[in-house]
Amino acid sequence: MAFNDFSAQSQGVQLLQRSLARGRLGHAYLFAGHQLEELETLARTLAKTLNCEQPIKTAGAATDCCDVCLSCKKITHETHADIHWARPESKSRVITIDQTRDLMQQIQLKPTEAQFKVAVIVGADRLNPQAANAFLKTLEEPPPKSVLILLTTEPSRILETILSRCLRLNFSAETARALDAEQSYWLQQFSSAAAAEQKSLFGRYRLLDALLQRLGAIRAQVDETLSARSPLEKYSDAEKDLREKWETELTAAIEAEYRRRRAEVLVLLQWWLRDVWLHTLAAGEQLLHLPQIAGADEIARRITPRQAQENLTVLEQTQRLLYTNVQEALALEVGLLKLQL
């Protein structure tokens, strides 16, 4: 994709392209948004634009990529020698200091076939303390002809010392969110169930069951998708040690991707609860994130603005709790039982 394809994120893209046109490229960026996939695509497009063989130019400066040259294709398929990625892949689902050191070692080398070396950290909020501190040294003294891009859906979890050294671009538009068909259907079913009178524990546990079923389906989908990509499926005759290594990596990757997808579901619920709160304030529909989802207004008629605000706090606490070793079902059960619906 090229920047021209990101109409939904036009403001952030325009700010980035304006910097490119003026020759004011930052050495480190923090891209914050709702979905890591979108942020990865944006980071990939910036890397393409910086190294495109036939870029689209504004006032003589490259401000977009052609998306068809050899360099762009290599970056799309993550085979470019000068574009490096780090993702949470360890058993503890964090980006480790070893991953960070390897990334920083690569970025310190001179470009082999590109104008700029680019390092992308996906889920920068998952840098463990040692990795984050090691990364700070590179942020303070970045090598020439290099760009560091951090991606996160939770910028509040990143060290302030890192945030202060990055140019932050927010791609979370404060407008209605676009949902795919599957997300829209599930959230509408959940909202409709919640809009029914919640006078008994049975009704609340129905909501919990709906959430757990959704998460179970996501886990199964993640397991199937990543298992199909694993070398375990291709090289059944590999040596035992190598197979064990692949199994460990696959297990960690599945858990990391599942947690990321789970966080997306909880963010959807957070936006839905925010809409409930806005309805209690009789705010305009233009402020709603999910105006297409019915039911929030019905709940708002039963609770006060303060109760609606407390619901948002409860969900935030539940999200933080899920980053610990607490049992998932228990954390979600406690959170849903606390909601005032």
Q: Give me the tens of pLDDT residue by residue for the chain, a chain 341 residues long.
A: 888 877 655 677 888 888 888 888 889 999 988 778 889 999 999 999 999 999 999 888 899 999 999 999 999 988 999 999 998 875 567 888 888 999 999 988 888 888 899 999 999 988 888 888 888 888 888 888 899 999 998 887 888 889 888 888 888 654 455 678 888 999 999 999 999 866 678 888 889 999 999 999 999 999 998 888 888 877 777 788 888 888 888 888 888 888 888 988 998 898 899 889 988 888 666 667 788 888 999 999 999 999 998 998 898 888 888 877 789 999 999 999 999 88
Domain boundary among 122, 142, 170: 170
Does residue 229 belong to any structural domain of this protein? yes
* Structural domain boundaries enclosing 143: 3-170
In a domain, 211, yes or no: yes
Residue 175 is assigned to a structural domain of this protein: no
**How many other CB atoms are found less than 10 A from the CB of residue 185?**
11
For the chain, counts of helices (H) and of strands (E): 13, 7
- Sequence-ordered list of residues with C-beta below 8 angstroms from that of 149, at least 6 positions apart, any chain: 28, 29, 31, 43, 46, 47, 118, 119, 120, 121
Domain boundary among 108, 140, 170: 170
Q: What is the pLDDT of residue 286?
A: 63
Is 292 within a domain?
yes
Both 212 and 233 in a single domain? yes
pLDDT at 251: 86
Say how many domains are in the chain. 2
pTM for the full predicted model: 0.59
Residue 176 belongs to some domain of the structure: no
Give one word for 248, left, alpha or beta, with left for phi > 0 and alpha for psi -120 to 50: alpha
- Find where tokens 């079913």 sit: 189
Q: Report pLDDT for 7.
A: 63
